[in-house]
Structure 1
Amino acid sequence: MSTFWLCLAASFVICITHWIYKWRNPKCNGILPPGSMGLPLIGETLQMIIPSYSFDVSPFIKKRLQRYGPLFRTNIASRPVVVSADPEFNHFILQQQGKLVESWYLDLFAKVFKQGENRPDGSHIHKYVRNLALSHFGAESLKAKLLPQLEELINKTICSWSSQESIKVKLAASEMAFHFGAKLTFSYDPENPSIDLTDNYFVSFSEGLLSFPLNFPGTAYHKCLEDHKKALNLMRDVLNKRLASPGTHQGDVLDHIIKDMKFENFLTEEFVVQLMFGLLFVSYDSISLTLSLAFKLLSENPKVLEELTAEHEEILKRREIPDSPITWEEYKSMTFTLYVINETLRLASVTPGLIRRALKDIQVNGYTIPAGWAIVVVTSALQLNPNTFEDPLAFNPWRWKDLKANDISKHFMPFGGGIKHCAGSEYSRVLMSLFFHVLVTKYRWTKIEGGDIVRTPILKFRNTLRINISKKHT
């Protein structure tokens, strides 16, 4: 019997050893990029989510770039991943959508957006969603009708803020952007709401995006999935009410989708609900964080605020009627404002990176990225590259005067890259530009407390930024 148990134990040790060896040495038809696969099952997930308290590239990424160079392998939540900070390779790979790579997300995104389902018409779906977003959030729509609506929204919002003793900037900015996104999507009116719409479900979804995929009560992952279900139920109620009133025409995104449901087979009710959720999420999340960071950075850099204010006061001086609505030409003249927005986005690097999955083996710099592996384009490493951006951790909007277009295209990707470039990028810039215009010409503010940042690796506030805002005396 002792011999039996000894043999059994030996076999177990051999199996475990073989399994660990295979984990650390994945199959590859060539040479894998350097790096480590970490511990079995969890990979290097725990090291990745260790918080850092700086705008700088996360220590997890930075240490490995210093050790292995601009391309390395790792494993995150049981997913083999190649991380790239090579601008040339990144530029190349983002042009290969549907050829060498496809869009990919880690477990949570894949679960909530049903990724992995066999959709042979995937490129057609992407084209449809992009055109839908452009038709309602793009430049033509902004010029034709959204500009005065946005200005009115921002005027009402900041006026409301000024009547309060203090505001929590991220929460207040989220509510503003969220409500306007809901208005465009399904004509939501926060003053006369037809449903109990709250951005709380969307906030927890954002906070749980890169949480470890442990689905049991008490975990961020579980809460994220539960709140996602609640948000989808709200969207389902909105869709059902609209479908039950076929004569109602609001001219919003939902009207557009319902009309197209008659012709597009993929526009099932479940897909439409997911699509509405996605449009709402992307219409507010990065905008609210960027605006909040701008408050922090402008408070800490008075010379930047002084020049920003001067640009907008000059716009008022050039008007025949000072209180007239802003025009598209005035928006396009906001050169320094765009520098401030770009510099805030560059420092923020809100997302940890752009993720693609290799459809076939990819050769790069003598290495092979196996088919099926995820490729993470680390935008923070590009946007904080000292070879492109001198003194990269400094908030210096003037740097954008001299940057070359080629450097910008390969090192600055706040709205994605390639054919997956965000269709709402112009909408985001317009909203933020108009926000600054109203803010610096009519109001002043003081920071009360908070505003420290943390990367986990998603950038967020470690403690709530609170400000007091008041009207300027004229």
Structure 2
Amino acid sequence: MILLLSESVTITKPPSSFLRTFYSNYNLIKIMYWSVWLCVVSLFIASITHWVYKWRNPKCNGKLPPGSMGFPLIGETIQFFIPSKSLDVSSFIKKRMKKYGPLFCTNLAGRPVVVSSDPDFNYYIFQQEGKLVELWYMDSFARLVGLDPSQSITSTGYIHKYVKNLALAHIGTEALKDGLLSKAEDMIRTRLHDWSKLPAFEFKACVSSMIFDFTATSLFGYDFKMKGAHFSEKFTNIVHALIAFPLNIPGTTFHKCLKDQKEAMKLIRDVLKEKKASSKTLEGDFLDQMVDDMKNEKFLSDDFVVFVVFGFLLASFETISSTLTLAIKLLIEHPLVMQELIEEHEAILKNREDPNSGISWKEYKSMTFTHQVINEALRLGSVAPGILRRAIKDIQVNGYTIPAGWTIMVVPAALQLNPNTFVDPLAFNPWRWKDMGVGVVAKNFIPFGGGSRLCVGAEFTKVLMTTFFHVLVTNYRLTKIKGGQIARSPALTFGNGLHINISKKHQ
């Protein structure tokens, strides 16, 4: 029995040499396996580390301005969009100006950016259009207007001159004198009369609709009575996403704005298509002129024409409506300013030969205090969070290098709210403009940009605001109902709106 058991054990037990070989190979495989994984992980960590290092230390043929590039991919975009509940420079810009000085680098919406609050450098940059810099928009804006973000969208030389002259011919000084001013006054009188019948209304929404309807009618004969759709609301939504991170997934602001953009673009395309197909004589508005010029100018494609009209609508609509809303809020809160404004406009009425006539160009130019109020509202409003240019080649400034291809963001609020230039900068003080020097204004007051790209709608904006004030203060009384909270996010916003009541004055 013992023998049998012994033999049985001997038969079933593997040879010791086999075990040694098996375990030796097994351990070798384990070592190789973990070695491979260790190499893979090491390479991954090294790649990530190298990528992060390159992100935080961009290539530059010199010394970059101080600053931080933030987190990979998103940069400092999240911090940039944190609202500041004040008219003051956004906390994002203010903190970095204090830490780094008037010139610093960052990364916004995936793009390396140099932010400047240096008035001398900004003035220089505006004079270098087409030489050192070119017009530039963030990717989100380019996509919202149907452009390829990778391509330059600046128009220089002949094309820029064509668009500028066309705009001046239809919304410039001569056009305003020849009838646009009186048409604006008619629309403003009608809208104010309608609003006076309401117990209260949200001013920003209503004035946005009015500005959109008037501008769209002037540009391409838009019939707001027939269309019925509130396209001004869509443009308001588009403005909120102009420099947002271009994340096009359901639920994001950018995704919603793209839908509004498609509808707004379709409106313009449909009108363009109708005008091109019509056998009727064109009426001579802005779009009519471009349609006529398409016969001879090869650069005037349908896409280009739609982009130009869309751009003019967007720029004029938001600048005027936001600045006007801020001005009304400030006038309500500062009765002494309101009283002097009323006195100036009532004096205009008393000196008018025909009391039933509209505002003349001479009267418009004589409204000194009104222009001071408008300048102060533009200064405090600083509606554009930044004016963008892209460096065509490396730019040297104060010992630093701005690499070619980088975006330069000029921040109007940082200039226009600078306590070293404007005493008590957050105070609403129109009288400060009495003795403001030309040199100070040229470098520190840029609500309409600068250089060859100075906004052609500057006079158009001032005329609409002046006319609105004239009709309002000579015919109505204002009462604030609620709202008016201000924030920068980074664009100027009004929280839950500014709700007011206007009532007819007893003549």
Q: TM-score, normalised by structure 2?
A: 0.91
Partner letter of residue 429 of structure 1? K
Identify the residue that residue 29 of structure 1 maps to in structure 2: 61
Give the alignment of 1:432-447 within 5 angstroms.
432-447=465-480
Counterpart position of 1:411:
444
- Cα offset for 1:111? 2.0
1:340 equivalent to 2:383? Answer: no
Tell me whether 1:381 sits opposite 2:381 in the alignment: no
CA contact (8 A) 2:106 2:113 kept: yes
Q: Does 1:221 align with 2:254?
A: yes
* 1:69 alignment counterpart: 101
What secondary structure, in the 3-state scheme, does the structure 1 residue paired with 2:104 have?
strand
Of 243, 247, 260, 2:276 maps to: 243
Match of 1:185 among 219, 240, 249: 219
- The CA distance in 1 between the partners of 2:154 and 2:237, in whole Å, is 32
Q: Indicate if the aligned counterparts of 1:202 and 1:227 stay in contact, CA closer than 8 A.
A: yes
Partner SS for 2:209: helix
CA–CA separation in structure 2 for the residues paired with 1:345 and 1:290: 6
Q: What pairs up with 1:296-315 in 2 under 5 angstroms? A: 296-315=329-348
CA contact (8 A) 2:135 2:153 kept: no
Paired residue for 1:6? 38
Shift, 1:402, TM fit:
1.2
After TM superposition, the structure 1 stretch with the greater mean CA deviation from structure 2, 268-277 or 236-245, is: 268-277
Give distance in 1, aligned partners of 2:367 and 2:336.
Answer: 17
- Give the letter aligned to residue 422 of structure 1: C
**Structure 2 partner of 1:102:** 134
Alpha-carbon distance in structure 1 between the residues aligned to 2:153 and 2:397: 29
Gaps of 5+ in 1: none
Aligned residue runs from structure 1 range 18-417, under 5 A: 18-113=50-145, 114=147, 115-117=149-151, 122-191=156-225, 193=226, 196=229, 198-417=231-450
Alpha-carbon distance change, 121 to 443 in structure 1, aligned in 2, over 3 angstroms = closer
* Partner deviation per Cα, 1:30-49 (whole Å, 9 max, x = no partner): 11101111111111111111
**Aligned partner of residue 468 in structure 1, secondary structure:** strand
What do the CA deviations read for 1:239-276 (whole angstroms, capped 9, x no partner)?
A: 11111213232121111111110111111112222222
Alpha-carbon offset, residue 125 of structure 1:
2.1
State the one-letter code of the partner of 1:28: C
Letter in structure 2 aligned against 1:18: H
Cα distance in structure 1, aligned partners of 2:332 and 2:283? 41
Aligned partner of residue 231 in structure 2, secondary structure: coil
User: How far apart, CA to CA, are the structure 1 residues paired with 2:176 and 2:374?
Assistant: 18
Q: Deviations over 1:348-393 (max 9, x none)?
A: 1101111100000000000000000000111100000111100000
Distance verdict in 2 for CA 1:54–1:228, change over 3 Å: same
Distance change (3 Å), C-alpha of 1:247 and 1:46: same
Distance 1:397 1:235 in 2: 39
Does the 8 Å CA contact 1:197/1:234 hold for their aligned counterparts?
Answer: no
**What amino acid is the match of 1:206?**
V
Does the CA-based 8 Å contact 1:100-1:359 persist in structure 2? yes
Q: Which letter maps to 2:223? A: D
1:461 and 2:497 matched: no
Specify the alignment match of 2:25 in structure 1.
none
Q: Give the TM-score normalised by structure 1.
A: 0.97
Do 1:185 and 1:276's aligned partners in 2 also have CA atoms closer than 8 Å? yes
CA distance in 2, matches of 1:383, 1:427: 21
CA contact (8 A) 2:477 2:503 kept: yes
Q: CA deviation at 1:2?
A: 1.1
Corresponding position of 1:428: 461
Q: Distance in 1 between matches of 2:154 and 2:413?
A: 33
- Looking at structure 2, the residues matched to 17 and 283 of structure 1 have their Cα atoms a distance apart, in angstroms, of 46
| CA contact 1:309–1:440 (8 Å) conserved in 2 | yes
SS of residue matched to 1:143? helix
State the alpha-carbon separation in 2 of the partners of residues 217 and 46 from structure 1. 19
Q: Shift of residue 463 of structure 1? A: 1.3
Query: Structure 2: which 5+ runs fail to align?
Result: 1-32
- Helix, strand or coil for the counterpart of 2:243? coil
**C-alpha spacing 1:457/1:389, structure 2 compared with 1 (3 Å):** same
CA contact (8 A) 2:109 2:244 kept: no
Decide whether the 8 Å contact of 1:187 with 1:252 is kept in 2: yes
Q: Partner letter of residue 11 of structure 1?
A: L
Contact 2:69 2:105 in 1 (8 A): yes
Deviation of the 1:321 alpha carbon:
2.0
What secondary structure sits across from 1:199 in the alignment? helix
Contact 1:110 1:116 (8 Å CA) reproduced? no
Choose 254-263 or 197-206, whichever is displaced more.
197-206
Residues 324-366 of structure 1, C-alpha deviations (whole Å, 9 max, x = no match):
2111000000100000001001001101111100000000000
In 1, Cα distance between the equivalents of 2:140 and 2:459? 28
Q: Distance in 1 between matches of 2:322 and 2:363?
A: 25
Q: Deviations over 1:412-467 (max 9, x none)?
A: 01011111000010000001001000100110010000010111111111111100
Paired residue secondary structure (2:211): helix
Which piece of structure 1 moves more, 119-128 or 253-262?
Answer: 119-128
- Determine helix, strand or coil for the equivalent of 2:224: coil
